[in-house]
Structure 1
C-alpha cells in the first residue's frame, strides 16, 4: 500500500517568480520520508537516538514535468519498490491540482550511525517495509 501525504508549497520554497525552487523539493521530500517511517512504527528519533540507524539517500533520480507554484498543496505518493539487505527502493509521485509535477526513483540505505557503514535491516523494520512492498505501477497504486 502506498503512503500518501500532503505538504503546502510555501513562499520560502519558491524563487522570486513564485515557482518552486527545486532544492526545496528535496527538503520537503526528506520530511515525507521521515513521516513514512513514523507511519510504519519507526520514528527517526527512535531510529537515530535509540537504535543508531541512519537512512541516507544513496541515489535519487528526479524527473520534473510541470512547475509547482507558491500556494500549491503538494500531494505525495510514496511506493516501496524493493527491500534489499540494507537498501530500500522507493518511487515518489508528486502532484498538485490533479497534475503530476515530478516523479523520483529513490534509494536509501540502512547505516550504523556509529561506524557509518551499511547494515542489514533489523527484522522488525524489514517486516514493516516488506509489508508495504508495491508490485503495481506507482502511478496507479493498489487501493
Structure 2
C-alpha cells in the first residue's frame, strides 16, 4: 500500500523564477518520510528520543517544474526492508497524477543510542511491510 501526502507548493518553496528551488523538494521528501513514520505508529518526536534514522543515500530525478500554488501528491513506497536499513521511492505528481514532478530513491538507516546501525524494532518493521511494493 502506497503512503500518500498532499503538499501545496508555497511561496517559501519557490525561487525568483517562480518555480520550486530543488533543495525544497528534499525538505518535502523529509516531511513525507516523517509523516510516514507517524502513520507507522512511531512519530519522529518519539523515535528521536532514543534512536535516529538518517538518510544515508538519496538520488532524485526532476522531470518537470512546480510552481507556486501547485498541488502535489507525494507517494512513498517501501522497496526493501533490511536488518537496519530501509529503501524508499517517493514520486511527486501534480494535476491528479497527470504530471510527474520528481522521483527520489533513498536509503534510511536505523541507529540505536550508541549511534550504530541497529535492527528495526519489530512493530516498526511490521508497519513497513504493509507499505512494501509488490514486485510484478
* TM-score, normalisation: structure 2: 0.94
**What displacement does 1:105 show?**
0.9
Deviation sequence 1:35-71 (CA, Å, 0-9, x none) = 001111111111112xx12111011010010011111
Segments ≥4 residues shifted beyond 3 Å: none
Matched with 2:124 is 125
Q: Does the alignment pair 1:67 with 2:65?
A: yes
Unmatched segments (≥5 aa) in structure 2: none
Aligned 1:1-143 pairs, distance under 5 A: 1-49=1-49, 52-97=50-95, 98-112=98-112, 114-136=113-135
**What displacement does 1:136 show?**
4.3
Q: How many Å separate the matches in 2 of 1:90 and 1:19?
A: 25
Secondary structure, aligned partner of 1:127: helix
How many matched pairs? 134
* TM-score, normalisation: structure 1: 0.89
Deviation sequence 1:77-111 (CA, Å, 0-9, x none) = 00011000000011111011220010011110101
**What displacement does 1:131 show?**
2.4
The 10-residue stretch of structure 1 (114-123 or 79-88) with the greater mean CA deviation from structure 2: 114-123
Q: How many Å separate the matches in 2 of 1:89 and 1:15?
A: 30
